[in-house]
Amino acid sequence: MMSAPWLIIAATFLFASMGVCVKLASLQYSAGEIVLYRSLFTAAYIVGWVRMNGGSLRTAIPGAHFWRSLSGVLSLGLWFYALAKLPLATGTVLNYMSSVWIAVAMVFAALALQGERVNPRLVAAVLVGFAGVVLVLRPTIEQDQLGHGLAGLVSGVLAAAAYMQVKVLNRLGEPDYRVVFYFAAGGIVLGALTLPFTGLHAHTWQGVALLLAIGLLATVGQMMLTRAYAVGRLLSIAALQYCGILFSYVYGILVFDELLSWQATLGIGLIVVAGVAATRFNTAPVAKQSEAPA
């Protein structure tokens, strides 16, 4: 079994590779269709895996799976929508804002509780992260891409909620494959709900190959990511997860000839620093809390 650091590095590489396929597939399919096909592949894979290796897909905590699936699938759909029009690195870094959004929630929670001291370093990390967002968006996104940029930002907010729910499910004893299966089930439902608005597009051999690649890369990456969050240290995972931005940056140059401005590159760096710092400042207080509030 791979250690948590190698699991997260491998997962981020697979997700960056999936991002390339999503961007190419978006020329032929809508974001909802891509989510649907990706989720169908994952669900079929998990069902087959369970039959071969044993286990059960029944759960005693459907509510916890519902909230994890809802936040995760909405984040996924918005991310795919953003990738369709934004540079690959830009769309990826907006989705990776989850650590900064968790820090924002921590700051507001501290302000709402009387007598609770706001960590100034946490505030500084949030401000640095938002400065990075401004640098990424302003020189990179055209006026007609603003909606995609906002979708990318919201996907990061929802990703933060989804990652926290993964930890909760692990503490409740849910195995990795079951977490991934119900996430895929949510994707099937959401993708199907979008079809009356987008319709089903005709397939080509290239389109089918891209959809299969998306499903395979996403499934293996999701299993690795879920296992890494279950067994690894939160700070180490958060830091190494940003390798996905580097992979996407290189992919953007090599595959799509996307040369970002120095402002956008600096902004990506600031977001990475802010995300790692925010997780570090959050780790110590969270570790002292009881399991119930989580």
User: Which residue would you say has higher pLDDT here, 279 or 256?
Assistant: 256
Query: Residue 164 in contact with residue 45, Cβ under 8 Å?
Result: no
Give the 3-state secondary structure of residue 293. Answer: coil
At residue 269, the pLDDT reads: 87
Mean pLDDT of the chain: 84
Binned at pLDDT 50, 70 and 90, residue 80 comes out as very high
User: Which of 50-59, 60-69, 218-227 has the lowest average pLDDT?
Assistant: 218-227
pLDDT at 287 over 60: no
CA–CA gap between residue 34 and residue 26 (Å, rounded)? 8
pLDDT at 291 over 80: no
At residue 23, the pLDDT reads: 95
Q: What is the mean pLDDT of residues 114-121?
A: 70
Binned at pLDDT 50, 70 and 90, residue 286 comes out as very low
pLDDT at 290 over 50: no
pLDDT at 264 over 50: yes
- Longest C-alpha distance within the chain, in Å? 62
User: Which residue would you say has higher pLDDT here, 188 or 122?
Assistant: 188
Output b/e per residue, 18-52; b: 16+ Cβ within 10 A.
Answer: bbbbbbbbbebbbbbbbbbbbbbbbbebbeebbee
pLDDT at 236 over 70: no
Binned at pLDDT 50, 70 and 90, residue 142 comes out as low
pTM: 0.83
Binned at pLDDT 50, 70 and 90, residue 65 comes out as very high
Q: What is the dihedral of CA 120, 167, 236, 113, to 10 degrees?
A: 10
pLDDT at 289 over 50: no
Q: Smallest Cα–Cα separation from 131: which of 259, 269, 282?
A: 269
The shares of helix, strand and coil residues in the chain, as percent rounded to the nearest 5, are: 80, 0, 20
Query: Residue 71 in contact with residue 250, Cβ under 8 Å?
Result: no
